[in-house]
A and B are shown apart, each in its own frame.
Chain A
Amino acid sequence: MYFILTALAAIVTTILWYRISEDKYQLSTLCFIYWGATLMWLVDHVIAFLDEGGAFFEMTLDATLLGIIVVLCGFFVWGMITFVKVTKGTLKN
């Protein structure tokens, strides 16, 4: 479930970044954070599925909670990066 939630977050962030053509608020950084994790978990899930079989997606409450926490952590890191760039005055636009 955390893989699905992170992938969804990556897609939504990419759509938002695409709509706001200028890279205001460093949305590209948030896209990279979510896409990086999504790609890595995709490889992890595919290898685990090929090696061990079973369900491809883990649909448990624990996995859902982890997904929410992971998405929030990514958002928090992006917020920190943007905050530092704003205070340093190096943010674009």
Chain B
Amino acid sequence: MACFVVPMTEAIIVSVVKHIAKKKEEKALSEASTLGKGEDVSFMEENHTTQTGLSWTQKLGWLNALLWGGVFLLAVEHIWHGEVILWPPFLTAMRNPNDIPIMLHEMASVGTSMAIFVTLVWVGMVFIAEQKMKRSFCKGFNRN
């Protein structure tokens, strides 16, 4: 009925967090550039990137794309099934008071499960990407 509302809420929160992380990274970079070109600025970057070089903006960007992509296509499906309309109250279940508890139950069960599952997949993805990059970094280091 409106299960995609839960991942959409998570997507909005992630977008805000990503925006804040991006601002912090830009600030750190500008501070680093003011220190001078010859100086070591790696300690500035350590706060915002891991050993593998993946920044939080990049990692959150993946979660953001997964969530917004899924939410958009699910919204299309809900429009197709007549569960979502493009004018108020937007959710057809809101028209009938008897449907509201069913809708809320679906949001709590299916919507929350969707959000948790997508987040878990993202955690796995970040872990694998970091391990892979660490390994390639070590290989390159050993060659030198």
Contact = CB atoms under 8 A, between A and B. Distances in A.
B74 interface: yes
A42 B116 CA distance: 13
A6 B3 CA distance: 18
Contacts, number: 78
Contacts of B80: 66, 69
A82 to B, nearest CB: 13
Chain A interface extent, by class: 20 to 34
Interface of A: 2, 6, 28-29, 32-44, 47, 66, 69-70, 73-74, 77
Interface of B: 3-4, 7, 62, 65-74, 76-77, 80, 109-110, 113-114, 117-118, 121
23 contacts: A29-B65, A32-B65, A33-B65, A33-B68, A33-B73, A35-B69, A36-B68, A37-B72, A39-B66, A39-B117, A39-B118, A40-B70, A40-B74, A40-B114, A41-B77, A43-B113, A44-B110, A69-B76, A70-B77, A73-B73, A74-B69, A74-B73, A77-B69
